[in-house]
Structure 1
Amino acid sequence: MSLYLDIGVVRIQSWLSRAPHLRGRRGASAMIRKATGPAAIDELLTGWQDIVKRCTEAGHVDGVVPLVMRSEEPEAVSRVEDHVTTHLRSLLPGASLRTKLRAGKDWLEAQNGPLRAEHEWPAVVAEWPPGKQCDWCRTWPASRQRMVGAKEKRELKSLCPDCLLREDHAGYSTSRRQEMAPGTERDLLKGWENRPPQRPMAVPDTSQVLAELGERRDNTHLATVYADGNAIGGLGDEVREAQDRGRGTTFKLPASIEHATWSALLDAVETITDDDATMLPVIAHLVGGDDVLVSVPAHRAWAFAHTLQTRFSEYLGARLAEADLAGITTPTISTGVVFHHHKSPLSSAIDLAEEHLKRAKKEHRGLTAALAWQDVTHDGPLPVHDRPSVSVKDLAASWPELSRLADCGGSARANLAALARDGGHAELMRHAKRIGLDELVRRLIDGPVSLEHAVGMTRWWRTA
C-alpha cells in the first residue's frame, strides 16, 4: 500500500480566462506547462528521492502534479505539500491550489479509493486594492507598467504579478508552432502536423480573427465548447476489477484517455477545417485528461461537438478492445456549448458553458453523450434552464431535418418557431403546408428535437 499525493490547480478554467484576451490566456497555458510539466517536477524533486517521486503511472495532465510518497510520515507529506505548492505559487500566483492524499496498491486503486486528506490554498484576494487595478484582470492591484501589444496596438499597461507572468510567457507568436511557447495550442499544431497530409498550419491570434474564419455572411460570432468525460471513475473501477482477475493488464487508463481525447479533438478540428485553409478554425484554451475547452466559429460548433463526442468513445472503446476489455462499458463525453459575439467576455461564456455541461450530465445521468447549449445573443446572458439537453444519438438522428431546416430562410424559421410556441397544431401545419415544409415539420414534431429548439439550433448551422 502506497500513498499518492495529487497537487494541482483548481477552477483552472476561471483562472485561464481571468485575462480578457487571447494573449493573456495563451501566456497562462504556457505558465501551467512550465510549472507542472514532468521535467520541471523532476528537477524540483531533486534531493527528495528518499521521500517522494513523480507518479509516472498517472501520465501528465497540465495543472496536476501526481506524486508517490516513499514515506508515510505525516510530517514528510506536509513537507512535500509545502515544497510543491511553494513552487506552484511562485509560477502561478493567481491560481488556487488543492492537494489530495489517497492510498492504494497502485495509482488506479488509489484514485478510486477514499480521500485520506485534502487541503486547499486559495489565491490571494484583493478586497480593496490600495492602488490602481490591473488593466488586464481587474482583480489584483497593478504592480508594474509594461509595454504590451504588437505594432500599432502597442501601449503601456499597468499589470499585476499574475498578468505580468502571462505577458512574459505568451511570446510574440505568429501562431506557428515553432514560434509558440509550449502549451495547448502548440500541442494542437504538433498533432495536426503529424497527421497526413502533414500540412503546416497556424492558429488565430485573436477572437476576431477566429470569428472571421466562419461564414462570410455572418462571421462575428463564436461558440465556446466545454467537454468532459462521463463515468470515467466507473471505468477505473471496472478496469481495476478486470486486472485483478488477470485481464487487461496492458491497459493504461491515463494514456488511453489522453489518446482518445486528443485524437477525437483532432478529428473534430479536421471536420470543420476547409481543404484550402492555412489556419485552423479553433482556439484551444485547455486540453487535459478528458477535459476540452475550445472556441470555434459559431456555424461550425455543431459539427465540431458531434465529431468530438462520437470519436472520443470510438477511440477509447478501441483501446479497451485491444486490451481484451471489450466487455467494459465505454465512457462517453458530454458538452456545453455557448454561442456569443467575439467581443463578449470569454470568462462569462466559459462559466455558462460549464453550467450547461453540468446540466447535460445531470439530465442524462452521465449514461450517454449529451449536449446542452445557449445562444447569448438571442437568449440573453442568464442561464436558460427550460431547454432540454439533447443526446448525441438524437442529434445524429435529427441531422437531416436540422440541415433541411437550416436551408430555409431566417424569417421562415422564425415564423415556424412562433407558431410552434404560441399557435395550435392545426395552424402550424397549415402554415407549413403553405410554404412547402409540412413533411419536414411533421418529422421534427415526431422527432427527439422539438421544432422550437430546432429553429434555435439551426441559427448557427453550417449549410453548404
Structure 2
Amino acid sequence: MTGSSVEQVYIDVAFVRIQRYLARTSRLRGRRSASAGMAEATDSAVIAARLPQGLAAANGEAGQADGIVSLKLVDPRPEGRQQRVRKVISAVLAELREEFPAAELQAVWGVGESYVSAYAHEIGPRTRRGDVEHVWYDLPSLPEFPAARLCPLCGMDPATEKARLPEAPEVPELVCADCAHRLRRGARAAARVGESRKKSAEQRLQELLEVDEAPDALENLAPLGAGDLKRNHLATVYIDGNAVGLFFKRLLAAAATKPALHDTKRELSRRLSELTEWSLLCATSQVLETMGPERSARLPVVPHVVGGDDVLVSVPASYAWAFVVEYLKTFDAEMRDSLVGPVNLDHGLDLPVPSASAGLVFARHGQPMYLLVDLAEERLRAAKRRTGGAASSVAFLDLTTEGPQGVDDSPLPLSVLGQDATLDALDRLHRLPRSLRTRLAQAMRDHDDTVSAEGLARRSGEFRAIEPFLPGRDGRPPRSGITLRHALRLVTWWRPLGPKARSRL
C-alpha cells in the first residue's frame, strides 16, 4: 500500500449456494426465471441508484457475476463507517429477500486501496472465517405451518400463495412464496419483451450465436442430442476455476513493490469474468459445430449460473464432451496467452496461470435437478483433487448405468483428454458397433483385466480401435493415458469433435 493511497470500503452482497437454489424446482422455466431474475436483480448500478442518500456506488473494479452485488461506499472515512455499511447492507438484503424468499444471502465488507486488495486481505478471509462482525447472513424464514400442503412445483416449502401457471393460466394454483415469485417474474419478463434490461447469460448467448431461444423444458432439451444415441439424457456440467485466488494473492504481493501493477490487478479482475463468458460462448459454438447436419435452430446449452469463474449448464448428453473440452481449452489458452502471460512478460513475474476443472453428470432428463447439481459438484471436487488445482481436469458420472456412487476411475487431466491423438483414438473407439463396445465393457467387468477384451477385439478385427487404451509393456500406462475401461465409459456419450476443438494445448 502506498502512502498516498486512499482506503476504500467495498461491500459484496451475494446469493449463497446459488446452484442449489436454482435447482429447487424441477421446471426449466422456473430455473430460467430465477436465473434471469437473479442477473437483473443483482445489477450493482441499479441497486446503487436505489439506495438512500447516495450511500454507495457500483464497484466498477469487480467483474460481472450474476448473483453478486458489489458496491463501494461513496464516503469511505472511518467516522460513522460501520453505520453507513449497515444501512447499505440492510437495504440491499431487504430488496433481494422480497424477490427471492427462499434464497440464502450473505453480505461481507472490507477496506483496501483496491477491490483486489480488500478481497484478498479482508473480504475473502472474513467470509472463510465467518467473521460475525463483518459478515451478515440472511436465511429464508422457516415455515409457520410445517404440516401444510407442500408446493407442487418444488416440493420443499408449504404452498401459501396463489399464482397462475403458464400452461394453465385460467385457474390459479397454490404454490410456495418463492415459486410464486418465479412465476410472476417470468410473466413480467414475457410482457417486457423488447425492453432494455440486463440480459441473462442465456439471452446473451442466444443473441451472439443468432439462434432461437432454448427449449422451455428439459424434456425438450434432451431430444436435441445426436440421433444415434438416446435422446432422453442430459448432462449437468459444473465448471470452476483452479488457483484463481492464489493468482490474485501473488499478484497483490507483487503490486506492493511494483506500483504499475495496481491498475493491472483491477483490470484482470474484470477480465476474468469476461473470459468466463467468452469460454462459455466458444464452448456453445463448438456444440453447434459438432451437431453438424443435426444442428438445431435453438440454443442447445442452458446456462443456469455464470458468475466469476463458475459455470453451471445443462446440455444434451451427446454434446457434453464437445462443450467441456472446448470450454477448458479456451479458458486455459486465453488465461495463459491473453491475461497472465503478458503480465508476467511485461513485469518480469512468474505468476501461476489459473485453469479450470469440470464435473459432469449424465442422467435421464427427469432426474431431480438438486441431485444432479450435488453430484456434479462432487465430480468437480474430485477433478480438482486429481491435479491439486494446478491444472485442468474432468471427472464424470453416468447416473443411469453407474448409480450415484459411480466407479473409481481417476479424473482425466485436460493434458491427456485434450490431445489430438487421444481425441482421434476416442473417435475410433466410438465408431465401433455399440454391441461390440457393450461386450468389451462386459469382458472388462467380468475379468477385471484387458486380456479377454483384447481377445474379443482381435476376433472382431477391431484391435486397432482399443490398442491406444491397453497397458504398455512392463505395466506401463496406455499410450493414450486413458485405460480401456475408462475410455469405454467415456465414449458412451461421445461425438467426434470438430476441428475447432483440436490443437489448442
2:277 matched to which residue of 1? 262
2:232 matched to which residue of 1? 220
How far apart, in 2, do the equivalents of 1:60 and 1:330 lie?
21
Q: Given the alignment of the two structures, is residue 296 of structure 1 paired with residue 315 of structure 2, yes or no?
A: yes
407 and 177 in structure 1: CA distance in 2 versus 1, 3 angstrom threshold: farther
Q: Given the alignment of the two structures, is residue 234 of structure 1 paired with residue 246 of structure 2, yes or no?
A: yes
How far apart, in 2, do the equivalents of 1:287 and 1:255 lie?
14
- Structure 1, residues 147-203: CA drift from partner, whole Å, max 9, x if none? 31237x9764211111111001123889x98599842311222333xxxxxx34322
How far apart, in 2, do the equivalents of 1:45 and 1:92 lie?
19
Q: Which amino acid aligns with 2:187?
A: G
Task: Pick one of 469, 487, 493 that aligns with 1:454.
Answer: 487
How far apart, in 1, do the equivalents of 2:111 and 2:60 lie?
16
C-alpha contact 2:235 2:361 (8 A) present in aligned 1: yes
TM-score by length of 2: 0.83
How far apart, in 2, do the equivalents of 1:341 and 1:139 lie?
22
Q: What are the within-5 Å matches in structure 2 for residues 194-205 of structure 1?
A: 199-205=210-216
C-alpha contact 2:63 2:272 (8 A) present in aligned 1: no
Give the deviation of 1:127 after TM superposition.
7.6
C-alpha contact 2:450 2:484 (8 A) present in aligned 1: no
Task: Pick one of 430, 435, 459 that aligns with 2:460.
Answer: 435
SS in 1 for 2:487: helix
SS in 2 for 1:132: coil
1:63 matched to which residue of 2? 67
Q: Which amino acid aligns with 2:399?
A: V
How far apart, in 1, do the equivalents of 2:446 and 2:26 lie?
40
1:207 matched to which residue of 2? 218
Task: Pick one of 362, 377, 381 that aligns with 1:358.
Answer: 381
Give the deviation of 1:120 after TM superposition.
1.6
Using the TM superposition, name which of 122-131 and 107-116 deviates more. Answer: 122-131
Where does structure 1 lack aligned partners over 5 or more consecutive residues?
193-198
How far apart, in 1, do the equivalents of 2:410 and 2:71 lie?
41
1:325 matched to which residue of 2? 344
1:12 matched to which residue of 2? 18
1:386 matched to which residue of 2? 408
Using the TM superposition, name which of 16-25 and 445-454 deviates more. Answer: 445-454
Q: Which amino acid aligns with 1:15?
A: Y
SS in 2 for 1:110: helix
Where does structure 2 lack aligned partners over 5 or more consecutive residues?
1-6, 471-477, 498-505
How far apart, in 1, do the equivalents of 2:33 and 2:60 lie?
26
Task: Pick one of 202, 212, 220 that aligns with 1:185.
Answer: 202
427 and 182 in structure 1: CA distance in 2 versus 1, 3 angstrom threshold: closer
How far apart, in 1, do the equivalents of 2:429 and 2:381 lie?
29
Using the TM superposition, name which of 72-81 and 337-346 deviates more. Answer: 72-81
How far apart, in 2, do the equivalents of 1:360 and 1:177 lie?
40
15 and 356 in structure 1: CA distance in 2 versus 1, 3 angstrom threshold: same
Q: Which amino acid aligns with 1:433?
A: R
Give the deviation of 1:97 after TM superposition.
0.9
C-alpha contact 1:247 1:325 (8 A) present in aligned 2: no
Task: Pick one of 328, 332, 348 that aligns with 2:371.
Answer: 348
Q: Given the alignment of the two structures, is residue 95 of structure 1 paired with residue 103 of structure 2, yes or no?
A: yes
2:34 matched to which residue of 1? 28
SS in 1 for 2:418: helix
1:410 matched to which residue of 2? 434
1:107 matched to which residue of 2? 115
105 and 19 in structure 1: CA distance in 2 versus 1, 3 angstrom threshold: same
How far apart, in 1, do the equivalents of 2:213 and 2:305 lie?
17
Q: Given the alignment of the two structures, is residue 45 of structure 1 paired with residue 57 of structure 2, yes or no?
A: no
Q: Between Structure 1 and Structure 2, how many residues are aligned?
A: 453
C-alpha contact 1:222 1:339 (8 A) present in aligned 2: yes
Give the deviation of 1:71 after TM superposition.
4.5
2:423 matched to which residue of 1? 399
Give the deviation of 1:323 after TM superposition.
5.0
Using the TM superposition, name which of 425-434 and 132-141 deviates more. Answer: 425-434
Give the deviation of 1:213 after TM superposition.
1.0
C-alpha contact 1:334 1:357 (8 A) present in aligned 2: yes
C-alpha contact 2:51 2:88 (8 A) present in aligned 1: no
TM-score by length of 1: 0.90
Q: Which amino acid aligns with 1:459?
A: T
Give the deviation of 1:45 after TM superposition.
2.0
C-alpha contact 1:169 1:181 (8 A) present in aligned 2: no
Q: Which amino acid aligns with 1:22?
A: L
How far apart, in 2, do the equivalents of 1:463 and 1:123 lie?
46
SS in 1 for 2:89: helix
Q: Which amino acid aligns with 1:64?
A: I
- Structure 1, residues 225-272: CA drift from partner, whole Å, max 9, x if none? 110111111121233234441455345123211121111111111111
Q: Which amino acid aligns with 1:261?
A: T
Percent same amino acid among aligned pairs?
Answer: 31
Give the deviation of 1:18 after TM superposition.
0.6
C-alpha contact 2:399 2:406 (8 A) present in aligned 1: no
Give the deviation of 1:48 after TM superposition.
3.8
2:135 matched to which residue of 1? 118
Give the deviation of 1:292 after TM superposition.
0.8
How far apart, in 1, do the equivalents of 2:189 and 2:113 lie?
45
Q: Given the alignment of the two structures, is residue 376 of structure 1 paired with residue 388 of structure 2, yes or no?
A: no
240 and 46 in structure 1: CA distance in 2 versus 1, 3 angstrom threshold: same
Task: Pick one of 130, 148, 155 that aligns with 2:165.
Answer: 148
SS in 2 for 1:112: helix
